[in-house]
A and B are shown apart, each in its own frame.
Chain A
Amino acid sequence: MKSTILTVLVAASVAQAQSFELSETKKRIESPRQMFFEAKLSPFTPLLDRPFSNLPATERPYYAVFGGGAMLLGEIEFDYQFFQKFGSLAGAVSVGYSEKFGKAIDKLTGDRVEQSTGLRIVPIKAMLVYRWDWAKEKFNVPLVPYVKGAFVAMPYFLLNGTDVETYGVKRGEGVKFGLAGVLGLSLQMDFLDQRLARDFDSSVGVNHTYLFAEGTIQEMALFSPGTSLDFSSKHFMFGLGFEF
């Protein structure tokens, strides 16, 4: 009986050693990684009604015209990693697009009319990104938490009918600036099919593939307080990331 247990233990330790060797070999043959690409979507509700909190909800502009619902924001992001020791630190840029359309309001009656009115935004961010992938690299833990700090420039276009809307001499288009903080968690999906993941690396150079979710707090009224257009938001984004 003792000899059987001994045999099992020896076999297990040999298997573990082989597995470790395989893992080490994998690391050695992995292509260098420097970039990260993300594609993500988010239900995005700008806090355009925040300066009008003293009004009844039905009279607040975003609620009255667009019904208060969320926009769908799509975004892509490129990171360049310049530090890879205890986690990775990267400089990044991202660009997104979102639009929402509603019915214009009859100035005399206050009724909604057939003419459409719309809001289009193009958020552009310059970011610093820190991903704590030390545990993933060292112990193959497939979870990578990360934080991002961003400077945001957001061109916006407000339409009535097919044209940018004017009000007196004011035009409904411009650029807003702000800051954003992001906290996220990504799940490395290589463990689902390690061979496929290695092939993806050897054939096109993508080291790892991630599914991720991140929470964003975006403050766009820091530099223009009062009742200016406020595109601040708190929103979650979900997406797919490729490290290469």
Chain B
Amino acid sequence: MRPFNRFVVIASLLLFLYLPTAVSALAVSEVEESLLCYACPGEPLNIDRCGGGDKMRAVIKQMIAAGKTKQEILDYFEAQFGEEILTIPPKRGFNLVAYYAPYAVFLLGILAAFLFVRKWVASGEKKSLAENRLDDKVLLSDEVQKKIDSEIEKLDEEE
């Protein structure tokens, strides 16, 4: 290895071998998942491992040690970086669209499916009435009907 490369590697190693300090664990991770790293746009803090993220984690740790609640810590970061720093946007203003649009679409979908099925059922009933008028309905016992159904099913499977 060239002397310069060796120097770079050793210098990086020294940086990498930092002295860790004790962490008050659970609360930090609880807060982490609600924040993005300010230095890596779009990257959740609980996944991020960069220096910027470390600074944020250090601040969170200090605030937890000072007795701040999760919401107070999130408010602090929101005040510093804007609501863009949060992974779960506050339920206000335009953000409400993000929360309710999926359910609105779901309900509309269910309504549409309901209306379609109702229409198809009605059209099926009409057809069945018409068929009944033309021919005498053949009445089958439950057992025979069951056997026919299972045979049809088998044929479908082996199609």
Question: Do they bind each other?
Answer: no
